[in-house]
């Protein structure tokens, strides 16, 4: 086994092994890098989710967006990159990581933290070199595989029409974030891009969202956040800003437990359209901006 080859901790190894054995029995979507992904199974009952917190935001002033998994369905690409490179270095004795392991231990995490979690016994600089290599592979795969979440561009036009303030806030490296915004055609749409590693603390701490509010001059009392991960939702909640969770890949219960005020499938979800209509700025307010 290569020296750069830690095993998965015992508390997740069993779950990973079970998941690996069962993968062959489930439907998967094949990608161009010979890596597979399936949508996370999520409950369909939304009755427990309330939007009352969002109703109090009227008139809406600003919307903050996470990028990975929120603007675009990028987790399958990240999963492929991690799966391929971790197997190459002999992680978990060379057994490929499962989707469940990725969702529970990697998705939404900051690279500095992930380096310590995945390689606790390795020199941190070497662990970060692995993370840099993984991000380079992601950027290589993204141009052919990145897909916007349904309804994104319609929502962006609605935001522009209502002259709402906005910012993109992410734990992704700046090079990744700028590439994704460019591929989505949203570089000019976001006047502010906040990178977690460029703040004192990244998500799940509130610092990135607090910085975004300050930079765009928005009040948390009239702002909400779009997020897809528990880490990001906790960051928004800690910043005292309501969060709308997208069930792009993560189970609903995980997002609810993190504190999401509302869960939606995508940006065309009727629940989102209804709340936007309820809290949108008045015509007079828009004309004054």
66 is catalytic: yes
Predicted confidence band at 287 (pLDDT cuts at 50, 70, 90)? low
Q: What is the pLDDT of residues 194-206, one digit of tens each?
A: 999 999 999 999 9
pLDDT of residue 103: 84
Single out the residue of 131, 100, 82 nearest to residue 249, CA to CA: 100
Read off the pLDDT of residues 109-118 as tens digits, 9 standing for 90 and up. Answer: 889 999 999 9
Cβ distance 184 to 146 under 8 Å?
Answer: yes
- Listed range (91-105, 219-233, 275-289) with the worst mean pLDDT: 275-289
Q: Give 105-149 as a DSSP string.
A: HTTT--HHHHHHHH-TTS-HHHHHHHHHHHHHHHHHHHHHH--BP
pLDDT band at 167 (very low <50, low <70, confident <90, very high): very high
Q: How far apart are CA 221 and CA 269, in angstroms?
A: 23
CB atoms within 10 A of CB 23: 15
Which among 68, 73, 207, 228 is annotated as catalytic? 68
The whole-angstrom separation of Cα 288 and Cα 98 is 52
- pTM equals 0.80
Q: 125 pLDDT exceeds 60?
A: yes
Q: What is the pLDDT of residue 111?
A: 93
Tell me if residue 269 is catalytic.
Answer: no
Mean pLDDT (whole number) for 32-60: 58
pLDDT confidence tier of residue 104, bands split at 50, 70 and 90? confident
Q: What is the pLDDT of residue 87?
A: 97
Separation of alpha carbons 224 and 64, rounded Å: 6
Catalytic residue among 66, 73, 75, 228: 66
Which is more confident, 142 or 39? 142
**To the nearest whole percent, how much of the chain has pLDDT over 70?**
80
H or E element, residue 166: strand 165-170
pLDDT-derived band of residue 285, with 50, 70 and 90 as boundaries?
low
What local confidence, expressed as pLDDT, does residue 47 receive?
37
């Amino acid at each position: 086994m290569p020296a750069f080859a830690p095993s998965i901790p015992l508390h997740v190894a069993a779950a990973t092994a079970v998941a690996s054995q069962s993968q062959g029995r489930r439907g998967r979507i094949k990608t161009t890098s010979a890596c597979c992904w399936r949508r996370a199974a999520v409950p369909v009952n939304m009755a427990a989710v309330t939007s009352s917190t969002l109703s109090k935001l009227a008139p809406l002033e600003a919307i903050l967006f996470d990028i990975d998994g929120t603007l675009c369905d990028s987790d399958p690409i990240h999963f492929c990159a991690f799966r391929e490179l971790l197997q190459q270095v002999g992680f978990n004795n060379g057994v490929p990581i499962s989707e469940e392991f990725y969702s529970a231990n990697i998705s939404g995490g900051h690279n500095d933290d992930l380096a310590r979690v995945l390689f606790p016994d390795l020199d941190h600089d070497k662990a970060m070199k692995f993370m840099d290599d993984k991000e380079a592979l992601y950027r290589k795969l993204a141009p052919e595989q990145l897909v916007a979440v349904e309804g994104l561009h319609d929502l962006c036009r609605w935001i522009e029409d209502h002259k709402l303030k906005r910012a993109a806030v992410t734990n992704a490296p700046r090079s990744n974030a700028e590439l994704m915004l460019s591929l989505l055609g949203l570089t000019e749409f976001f006047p502010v891009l906040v990178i977690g590693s460029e703040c004192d603390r990244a998500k799940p701490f509130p610092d990135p969202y607090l910085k975004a509010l300050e930079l765009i001059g928005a009040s948390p009392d009239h702002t909400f956040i779009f997020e897809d991960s528990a880490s990001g939702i906790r960051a928004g909640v800690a910043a005292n800003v309501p969060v709308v969770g997208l069930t792009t890949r993560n189970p609903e219960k995980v997002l609810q437990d993190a504190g999401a005020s509302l869960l939606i499938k995508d940006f065309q979800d009727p629940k989102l359209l209804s709340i936007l209509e309820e809290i949108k700025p008045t015509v007079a307010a828009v004309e004054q901006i």
